[in-house]
């Protein structure tokens, strides 16, 4: 029996795809690895940013026994083109005082399934990254200052925010730049 040429090509292509699939291992979960070769956690793909609707890259990591979904940003340095590495995100935190002192409050900037709300704060570019995890329900609160990577700003307002537990220094746990394996 003679096969029509396009049908014959399709059968040959299907046979080679089947052969390729049999020799390849199935792709497992992607993991985020730090610069020292330590596994940070599973790559979370894109998390929804609640205030901007933007998608943020993240990692599911176990920090002090708790599962958290932590935002990462692309790392760019001198001479970098397209970044294939990631660093911790650089968010912001709120204070009841006007000088960024006292108890910290965080907004619900990103979320991952089953993980508590958290925020990563850097007080200087490339400086230590501190993880703040929500320690209670979201409530409408008054704030009088905001701290981000660029400094402390005396700004008053109110927002739906969370009280935060004591900060965890991620810089002592993992070495930036991260990559995905």
- pLDDT one-digit tens code per residue, 29-51: 889 999 999 999 888 776 655 55
* Region of residue 113 (phi > 0: left; psi between -120 and 50: alpha; otherwise: beta): beta
pLDDT in tens, 140-155: 999 999 998 889 999 9
Q: Is the entire prediction scored with pTM above 0.85?
A: no
Q: What distance in Å separates the CA atoms of residue 112 and residue 143, rounded to the nearest whole number?
A: 26
Q: What distance in Å separates the CA atoms of residue 99 and residue 7, rounded to the nearest whole number?
A: 74
Q: Which residue has the higher pLDDT, 14 or 59?
A: 59
pLDDT given for residue 96 in this prediction? 95
CB 47 within 8 A of CB 55: yes
Least confident of 18-27, 37-46, 92-101, 169-178: 18-27
CB 19 within 8 A of CB 11: no
pLDDT given for residue 19 in this prediction? 46
Q: For the stretch 121-138, what's the b/e string if a residue is b when 16 or more beta carbons lie within 10 angstroms of its beta carbon? A: bbbeeeeebbbbbbbeee
All structural domains of the chain with their residue ranges: 30-180
């Amino acid at each position: 029996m003679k096969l029509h040429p396009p049908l014959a090509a399709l059968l040959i292509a299907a046979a080679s795809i089947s052969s390729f699939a049999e020799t390849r291992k199935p792709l497992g979960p992607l993991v985020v690895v730090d610069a020292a070769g330590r596994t940070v956690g599973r790559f979370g793909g894109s998390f929804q940013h609640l205030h901007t609707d933007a998608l943020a890259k993240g990692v599911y990591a176990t920090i002090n026994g708790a599962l958290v979904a932590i935002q990462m940003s692309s790392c760019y340095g001198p001479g970098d083109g397209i970044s294939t590495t990631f660093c911790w995100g650089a968010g912001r935190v709120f204070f009841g005082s006007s000088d960024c002192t006292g108890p910290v409050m965080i907004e619900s900037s990103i979320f991952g399934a089953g993980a508590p709300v958290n925020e990563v704060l850097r007080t200087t570019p490339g400086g230590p990254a501190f993880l703040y995890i929500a320690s209670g329900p979201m409530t409408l609160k008054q704030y009088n200052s905001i701290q981000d990577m660029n400094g402390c700003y005396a700004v008053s307002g109110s927002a739906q925010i969370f009280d935060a537990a004591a900060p965890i220094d991620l810089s002592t746990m993992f070495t930036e730049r991260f990559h995905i394996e």
